[in-house]
Structure 1
Amino acid sequence: MRADGHAPGRPTPDGRDPGQVPGRDSRQDYGSLPMLRRVRRLTAAVADHGLAAAGALRALLRDRGPRRALSGPARSMAELGLVRVLLDEGPESGGTGRTLMAGRAPSAGPPHRIRAPHPGHRARGDGAAEAVELVDQEKQFIATAGSFLGFLRNIEVLSAGGRILVQNVRGPDGIVRYVVQAPGIAPGRPRNDSPQYLAGTRPGADRAADSPYIRSVLLALEDYGIPRGADLALIGHREGGLAMLNLAQDEEFCRTYRVTHVVAVGSRGGHGRPADPRTWIAGITNQYDVLPGQDGQDAASACEPHPNRYDVDYAGPTRAVPLCQMLREYIEHLRTVVPGAREAVDTALTPYRGPIVRTQAYRLKDRARPPEGYPFLTLPTGSIATTVGPVDVPVRYSDSSAAHLCFPVCADTARGLLPDVPWLTPSRLGGRALAVLSLHEHRRTTIGPYTEIALSVLVDDLWRPGPYDLAADLLRRADLRRTGRHVLSVAVTSEEARVVAREIWGQPAMRTTAEADLTGREIDVRSRDLGLTVRGPLGPGIRCPEADWVLYGRRGESTVRTLVRARGRLRLHPGTGVRLRLGTAAAEPLAGQLRRLGIDAARPLFVLACPRFMLHRSAGAVLPR
């Protein structure tokens, strides 16, 4: 049964599907009739031939883009494989396809065309766990009392670092219990050194102890010192939820600890039963989410009645992929769309509702894999003291996106915005200076994830400026270049990034709030605090060389030179489709500088965009200028 008391697929008394949000027309789920036709083509192709299905999916990706292409067929994605199994089913399958379509567990063996893993094909790797400290910004969001949404917010904090969290909770009865919180795979570039990105997190894919991810979790629990027989709650998101379900099905693990609760958000638990029949299991899924789960499992099979199981399969308002997969969307839905589910899980977790008495994060690793960013980000590092603590330099960015909007501006106006020193002069291209508005979405860095908006101006050599310096520097390595971009102002979304920009790189940084999406074919950056919006399609582009560059800043009476090296597929696009807009109450100093340069409502001459790249920024070198 569903959480709302109705069987899957049966309408409620008001005539709507139980997973449908009131007031929504289900015919609008696919957005338009052309989209609906493409989804139907994909569904028909699955029943026809694999190549046809690949062609149909390619058409969706080309027409809608990777972010929107999966939004339409997401609700039917789990069923497409079952349709193929049912249509191809022969006498030798024993009716397995019909059994799965009916929502029942198969009696023996996997269905036809759904391969079971070979016993020798174990997930290879050597799991490891390292106790790590949370940064100050993360500590501000870690829950200090046990609650369902508090545990989910903890997971959201950990999602970008390949970590799990273990906490002690003193319950209402005074007994100390333990909660393990595991995130899934973070959006963006895969981490080679994190076992979350390896095989073995699916229920039924392998024995729990054979997964590098599970082995890493076990090592973390052993280091934490949870006593044998202690009560344990396992909470996870997507692949982390599947790993927690795997642990609950492992008999040896359940003999060591008493697993009382398992909550999986954004993942399906399959047909497996927990090793301890007393374990209470909850699964919460958005129907538009392309869910990780056991092959051949549909939404109905996840809702098979069980006395200690609670399942919610709802149609949330968020349909775009990967937005609907993100934990912050699930948290918002639990607050506004399905609050009854939140209350039910909180009631079940009553023994874990109390003050947190200890918190420890662990970074999970796989020593059989190279470190993240290898070999580009494998560098000797040093430590520099800042007001937020020591910072390792070079600062490394393993998963970022960027768009550099380039505007020709008046050279005299640009010179008026530079520091009042005679050796800083803007580079001229045809009598005009070049201003660059750089938009960055840093998803994984050594100083934490953040969004960055920076305005800079190309400047000549500080000692011997020449008319052809910029052209000559294009032929030089980045560390030998004499020209660079002087940063006029920069806005970042984290305190650590602001302090590093000011104290290490000498840049006039301010903290703000901003949202950025730079991974698709369109630019979409918004900052309510700055009153800034940059939006528009990129259009066709051509491949460019790697975008290493030099940044200049000021610290006191000195110039600070920072070398930035990048690796990614940079492309040059025309700027005709991208538009920058400033609100009437836009924040200074960035807004004033944009207005003085005349680009507050202009279109860039061209855009340099890179949806996926890595970079590292050196410590700022102080120059005697």
Structure 2
Amino acid sequence: MGADGHIRGRTVQDEQDTKELLRRCARDVMDVAEGIREVSTRTSTALFAPALTASARRRPRTALAARWALLRALTNKDGLGGSAIRAPKGMGQVLGVAGEVLGRESLAALVAVTSLRLRIAAVLFDHPEFERDPGMRRLMAAVTADRDLEAVRALRALFRDQGAQRALSGLAPLMAELLAVRALLDEDPKNDEPGRPPAAGRGPSADPVYGISAAHLAGQDRGEGAAEAVDLCDQERQTVATEGSLLGFLRNIEVVSANGRILVQNVRGPDGVVRYVVQAPGTAPGRPRNDSPQDFAGAWRNLFLTDSPHTRSILLALADHGIPRGADLALIGHGEGGVALMNLAQDEEFCRAYRVTHVIAVGAPLDDKRPADPRTWVARITNQHDIVPVLAGRDAGSASDPHPNRYEVDYTGPTHEFPLCHMLREYIEHLRTVIPEARKNVDEALAPYRGPVVRTQAYRLKDRAHPPEGYPFLTVPTTPLPTTTGPVDVPVRYYDSSAAHLCFAVDAVAARGLLPDATWMVPSRLGRRALALLSLYEHRCSTIGPYAEIALSVLVDDLWRPRPYDIAADLLRRVDLRRTGRYILSLAVSSEEARVVSQQIWGQPAVRMAAEADLMSRDLGVTAPGLGLAVKGRLGRGLRCPEADWILYGRHGESTVRTLVRAHGRLRLHTGTGVRLHLDIAAAEPMAGQLRRLGIDAARPLFALSCPQFVFHRSAGAVLPR
């Protein structure tokens, strides 16, 4: 047994020696590639030097021969290669592109690819399954041989046979090398620059597949950053750790990983000193979002730039937390959160304000990032099958040496499938069962933070500070008015509503018969007819709650000096100067608060009923079983109309109540031929009776007005002495 153990030990040591030898060879070969590249640059400079160009005019025979020799050295396949010309523009650039298109890779690129192949061989010592898998062998052979079509076919076959997640996670240990090989060997010389940093074991400066500028991609993440203190729910408060430890902090990160939050905790150490721990989760799931910096665009920006909305919002959260200047700070993050916190640790001004003692990142790409304070202890824990750490350009088989004053654990966990292997709960389980020694070492380093938590505060991070809801249209001064259900702020604001108004030409005498018994209130006429409106509303968000609304109204003239056709002239006036308006004959709402406000503040005869409304498309659907009423149909194509401000009239005792309504939305005019009103035989009064008296129950709308989404506010009703 002892001999067998000794033999196995020697075998393991031999493998380690072989891997280290391959990596050293990869570094040496990469140095040669860089040297050849410098020679190509100097040769290109000499070829297109102004002095040699001028000499060619004076002594064409010798000068042209010299330029021809330089050109052959740069373009010949036995020389520096067809794409070795490094002239910034003009004919030199054209020749370089032509060499790439003709398939003559530069000698520097070929030597760099040799270095990458040595690194791939080193990685294969840790992952022999790649050599046994025919799909992986086919893919690696196609990529390193620059056979694009074959590489695409191999990748498709790999995804089809093993599933996308398994194939992607299998590529993780070789991702940087394969992408760099692809960039160096493709036909686009612009991709050589993105391919060189990964080939040299440095972090990429641009996308290694397409050569897209990192600054361009990072520019998609905009905003000045903002932070808002928020409370944890009861279940979260029970889950958050009350004692400082690595696993406790990581579990805290998992608790706040939703909704773009971070956690800041005050921990009293064994020496009685209060220290602070910032805990940041990784990228939020889903598409890029404007409300949170923890998205893909933010992750990409954090990878290349130290300043971002993410880091700025964390700074605002720390300022709000009241951390004293010079206090000890530990930064612990997962994925993108770890990168953002490391970016803060790189900021000299931040390190002058606080003493950053620890940065601990789990599943995060940190390779080329160094803290501004050399005393900061940095720990990095990664699963070799996790793709996210590979984004920094160095993987388990990289030729780069780790930076000093770092503790790095790069392990092969039992979870290989992505994104499962990147999830924080998997890392927590692996620290507990697979790499307990790493957990123990990090906890020892965190000894000053091993104590009771004396304060916990969560902060929601945002890309930008948001204005008040409804700004600027709905940011108006308000006044509370008493009602039987409690005070109500007026004007009442509606933040998200839909509406459809069905306009009917009705008999003027019938309309007059439904108005109050007063000689001064008469319906507005268009010829011999009056106009009645059946208005349908879906209020999804308002200051008196969500509710549906169905209103029947008649257009009326000026209460004091009615004039023929005054309604047409009134539309040209500002809404607060209008004399005409809509008198509400009957109103049905689906909430008690809306009924009380309508009756007591606006003087409208409201009743409560159950209703469902869908008015956000051209297909209208409103049902009110309590009223025995339904509206269904499809609106025709519409024309854009001006804003739909209006005046509403109601009655309160012996007085008329005038309410001003200001709206902002896209109002459209439609023909009403496709919409039908359905009224049950036993429909409820008074609305059903009024509809029948006006003849609306059997008529088609003259036209319809719709606004699928708009905002508006209704003022308090002004009592008029009539």
Give me the TM-score of the superposition, normalised by structure 2: 0.45
The equivalent residue for 2:631 is: 534
**Residue from 514, 539, 550 that aligns with 1:417:** 514
Which residue of structure 2 aligns with residue 439 of structure 1? 536
The change in CA–CA distance for 1:546 and 1:510 in structure 2 (over 3 A counts) is same
In the alignment, is residue 572 of structure 1 matched against residue 657 of structure 2? no
**Which of these residues, 234, 241, 244, is aligned with residue 168 of structure 1?**
234
Alignment of 1:317-466 (within 5 A): 368-466=465-563
Q: Which residue of 2 aligns with 1:202?
A: 295
1:496 — aligned with what? 593
Q: What 5-or-longer segments of structure 1 have no aligned partner?
A: 1-85, 132-164, 185-194, 224-243, 257-269, 274-299, 310-359
In structure 1, how many angstroms separate the alpha carbons of the residues matched to 2:519 and 2:459? 52
The residue type paired with residue 643 of structure 2 is: E
The match for 2:164 is 102
The question of whether the paired residues in 1 share the 8 Å contact of 2:639 and 2:669 is answered with: yes
Equivalent residue for 1:158?
Answer: none
The answer for the alignment partner of 1:589 in structure 2 is: 686
Change (3 A) 1:308 1:492: same
**CA distance in structure 2 between the aligned counterparts of 1:451 and 1:181, rounded to whole angstroms:** 36
Q: Deviations over 1:573-595 (max 9, x none)?
A: 11101111123343333223222
* 1:124 maps to 2:211: no
1:581-624 Cα offsets, whole Å, 9 max, x none, are 12334333322322222212432110011223222211111111
* In structure 1, distance between residues paired with 2:581 and 2:607: 22
Aligned equivalents of 2:520, 2:600: Cα separation in 1? 23
Describe the shift of the 1:249–1:119 C-alpha distance in structure 2 as closer, same or farther (beyond 3 A): closer
SS of structure 2 residue aligned to 1:564: strand
SS in 2 for 1:600: helix
Other-structure match for 1:345:
none
Residue 491 of structure 1 aligns with an amino acid whose one-letter code is A
Return the alpha-carbon distance in structure 2 between the equivalents of residues 217 and 453 of structure 1: 50
CA distance in 1, matches of 2:641, 2:559: 27
Taking structure 1 as reference, are residues 383 and 592 closer, same or farther at Cα in structure 2, changes over 3 Å only? same
Greater Cα shift, 496-505 or 113-122: 113-122
Distance 1:434 1:379, change over 3 A: same
Question: What does the per-residue CA deviation read over 1:299-333, in whole Å, with 9 as the maximum and x for residues that have no partner?
Answer: x9668898968xxxxxxxxxxxxxxxxxxxxxxxx
Report the 3-state secondary structure (helix = DSSP H, G, I; strand = E; otherwise coil) of the residue aligned with 1:470.
Answer: helix
Instruction: Write the distance in 1 (CA, Å) between the matches of 2:237 and 2:461.
Output: 28
Highest Rg: 1 or 2? 2
> Which amino acid letter does the alignment assign opposite residue 528 of structure 1?
P
**2 CA distance for matches of 1:416 and 1:490?**
18
Take 2:589 and 2:312, find their aligned partners in 1: how far apart are those partners? 36
State the partner residue of 2:649.
552
Residue 482 of structure 1: how far off its partner (Å): 0.7
Q: In the alignment, which residue of structure 2 is the partner of 1:80?
A: none
1:392 is displaced (CA, Å) by 2.5
Distance 1:181 1:504 in 2: 45
1:516 counterpart letter in structure 2: A
**Shift in alpha-carbon separation, 1:591–1:476, aligned structure 2, 3 A:** same
Contact 1:450 1:497 in 2 (8 A): yes
The residue that corresponds to 2:131 in the other structure is: none
> Aligned equivalents of 1:592 and 1:484: distance in 2?
23
In 2: Cα distance, 1:366 partner to 1:382 partner: 33
Note the C-alpha offset of 1:432. 1.6
Shift of 1:382: 2.3
- 1:1-29 Cα offsets, whole Å, 9 max, x none, are xxxxxxxxxxxxxxxxxxxxxxxxxxxxx
Whole-Å separation in 2 of the counterparts to 1:417 and 1:479:
26
Q: Which residue of 2 aligns with 1:263?
A: none
User: Structure 1 residue 169: deviation in Å?
Assistant: 4.0
Counterpart-to-counterpart distance in 1, 2:719 and 2:515: 18
Matches of 1:462 and 1:386, distance apart in 2: 28
SS in 2 for 1:386: coil
CA shift for structure 1 position 365: 7.5
Deviation at 1:484, TM superposition (A): 0.3
Q: 1:605 to 1:166 in 2, by over 3 A?
A: farther
Aligned to 1:39: none
Alpha carbons 2:664, 2:710 under 8 Å: kept:
yes
Q: Residue deviations 1:185-243, cap 9 Å, x none? A: xxxxxxxxxx97435353574269966799599969x98xxxxxxxxxxxxxxxxxxxx
Change (3 A) 1:603 1:361: farther
Q: Please state which structure has a larger fraction of its residues in helix.
A: 2
Report the CA distance shift for 1:513/1:199 in structure 2 as closer, same or farther (over 3 A).
same
Q: Match for 1:494: what amino acid? A: S
CA distance in 2, matches of 1:566, 1:126: 32
How far off its partner does 1:446 sit? 2.9
Counterpart mapping for 1:289-308 below 5 A: none
- How much does 1:443 deviate? 2.7
Aligned partners of 2:313 and 2:463 also within 8 Å: no
Q: Tell me, what secondary structure is at the counterpart of 1:416?
A: helix
What is the SS of the residue equivalent to 1:594?
A: helix
Shift of the alpha carbon at 1:520? 1.9
Displacement of 1:246 in angstroms is 7.5
2:613 is the alignment partner of 1:516: yes
Aligned to 2:710: 613
Q: What is the number of residues matched between the two proteins?
A: 389
Write the distance in 2 (CA, Å) between the matches of 1:526 and 1:114.
57
CA contact (8 A) 2:227 2:316 kept: no
Q: Deviations over 1:95-149 (max 9, x none)?
A: 7975777223454587956977845664413424377xxxxxxxxxxxxxxxxxx
User: What is the alpha-carbon distance in structure 2 between the residues aligned to residue 527 and residue 102 of structure 1?
Assistant: 49
Specify the code of the residue in structure 1 equivalent to 2:660.
L
Partners in 1 of 2:459 and 2:679 — Cα distance? 43
Q: CA deviation at 1:271?
A: 7.2
Residue 323 of structure 1 corresponds to: none
The one-letter code of the counterpart of 2:705 is L
- Alpha-carbon offset, residue 552 of structure 1: 0.6
Across the aligned residues of Structure 1 and Structure 2, the Cα RMSD in angstroms comes to 4.9
Q: In structure 2, the residue corresponding to 1:412 is in which secondary structure? A: helix
Q: Sort the Cα spacing of 1:304 and 1:523 in 2 relative to 1 into closer, same or farther, 3 A.
A: farther
Aligned to 2:111: none
Tell me how far apart the structure 2 counterparts of residues 512 and 196 of structure 1 sit (CA, whole Å).
39
TM-score normalised by length of structure 1: 0.51
Partner in structure 2 of residue 262 of structure 1: none
Q: Determine the structure 1 residue equivalent to 2:69.
A: none
- Aligned-partner residue type, residue 167 of structure 1: C
Among candidates 561, 571, 574, match of residue 477 of structure 1: 574
Q: Which residue of 2 aligns with 1:543?
A: 640
Distance 1:577 1:181, change over 3 A: farther
Within 2, Cα distance between the matches of 1:608 and 1:569?
A: 10
Contact 2:481 2:490 in 1 (8 A): yes
How far apart are residue 411 of structure 1 and its match?
A: 2.0
Q: Counterparts of 1:213-232 in structure 2 under 5 Å? A: 215=313
1:256-267 paired onto structure 2 within 5 Å: none
